[in-house]
Amino acid sequence: MLSSVALVRKPGPDFIDALSGHPQKTRIDFKLALEQHSSYVRALQQAGARVVTLEPLQGFPDSVFIEDTAVIFGDKALLCSMKAESRRGEVESVAGEVGNHRKIIDLQPPVTLDGGDVLMTDDAVYVGQSTRTNKEAVQALADHSEKPCTPVPVLRGLHLKSAVSFLGNGILVIDPTSVETSSFKKFEWIKVDESERYAANCLTLGDFVLLPAGFSRVADKIRSHGFQVIELEMSEFEKADGGVTCLSLIIRE
């Protein structure tokens, strides 16, 4: 099994002010968020990752969602040019640590890109066309990728990976009502229904899949493909429009 470094950042007290369209965004429980984040870190370690924890970044309530700051392509790390003005300082804050593992390349406007819109598979990269990521980002990624980069319209939700996760072995967990699916016909689908949409975002590390708790049908489907599922309480991050993959930046060693 390939080993991985997982960069994470603890939520700070201002996490309660994170950007969100969730109806319960004003009810984020910071203490509970800290407990859930600690459980997430333990799950990463259980799955074999070496966790590097960054301290809270005061003044950047969304900085716990560290996945959005960079995209790892082979021996390169592409630092994202983020559209949300309130998040732009997050990128510089991770550059030093990411630079310990990969060669840094800065993406610049007119590119706008969040890492949550970049879905890596074995032979292609899919780039969500969302409110955060534009068409210029597709070309910018293609310039640095050995794999073809395909744009995918995001129909609802924040990012492409809010609705599609790659497990490996040609398998996707997917909410087909939230993205244009024509690019994904060659994959085997574990399809989530309307009540399971939040489970479409999950994280595979080797034989383990980290999945939000409360979606037993999806968990059983994933297990049927030979994976071990670690279910995690994610309520406070869901209120902030964040999911399982958002909380870490995975760097394969």
Catalytic residue among 37, 159, 202, 225: 159
Coil, strand or helix at 183 = helix
Q: In angstroms, how far is CA 161 from the centroid of its own chain? A: 6
Alpha carbons within 13 A on the beta-carbon side of 253? 12
Active site residue 159: yes
Q: What string of DSSP letters covers 196-221?
A: GGGGG--EEETTEEEEETT-HHHHHH
Active site residue 246: yes
CB-based contacts of 108: which residues, under 8 Å, 6+ apart?
Answer: 81
Q: Cβ–Cβ contacts within 10 Å for residue 59, how many?
A: 11
Complete edge-to-edge strand list for the sheet that includes strand 4-9: 49-54, 4-9, 249-252
> Tokens 């080993």 label which residue?
3
State the catalytic residues. 159, 246
